[in-house]
Amino acid sequence: MYIDEASGFEVKTPSGWQKSEQALADRRKIVFFVNGDDASSSEKDLMFIAYTPVRDDFTALSSFGSVEQVGQMTILPKGELMGEDSNGSKMLSQESKKNSYYFDYVTKSADQPKRHLRTIFTLIQGGTGGAGAVLVTITLQTKDDRYDALKGTFDEIIDSYGKIKK
């Protein structure tokens, strides 16, 4: 279980996957859980938790727009929005629940295998340790042809997400 008491949430992590953490510029950080040491980067199953501080005027997740708007702005390929071929990239489902946005989608980039992703977007007030909020995104991904084997694990992780009392 990954527990972030400062941000006030917890989420189950994949058993046996290797954890690493990276601090980025502007108080951002990302925590990785990777499966598949001997595989190339495009073959690996991955879970990551990204922390992005946002301006003080973002006080609720809806400040970014509805779940559909956020999906269109951040998830769907930009070409699809302009009527171009999406190479098989597609939003499978999107919903708002538990004060978070949940997305299930597949993506296809040139020269890369098709990937299946599940993402949670949530906004945590005071999650930076100071004023303001932090946008937390939790994403799981695997090659699309491996998704059926990992679906149960992904479901369990997504369903385990919850807020804890600070």
pLDDT recorded at residue 60: 86
Whole-angstrom distance, CA of residue 59 vs CA of residue 30: 22
Q: What is the pLDDT of residue 157?
A: 96
pLDDT tens by residue, 7-21: 889 999 998 899 998
Q: How far is CA 1 from the centre of its chain?
A: 16
- Of 127, 109, 125, 126, give the one whose Cα is nearest residue 117: 109
* CB 75 within 8 Å of CB 92: no
Span 112-129, pLDDT tens digits: 888 999 999 999 886 545
- Phi and psi at 51, nearest 5°, equal -115, 120
HSE at residue 155, side-chain half, CA atoms within 13 A, is 6
**Could you give the 3-state DSSP secondary structure of residue 33?**
strand
Look at residue 145 and tell me whether its pLDDT is greater than 80: yes
Measured distance CA(90)–CA(68) in Å, rounded: 13
117: helix, coil or strand? Answer: strand
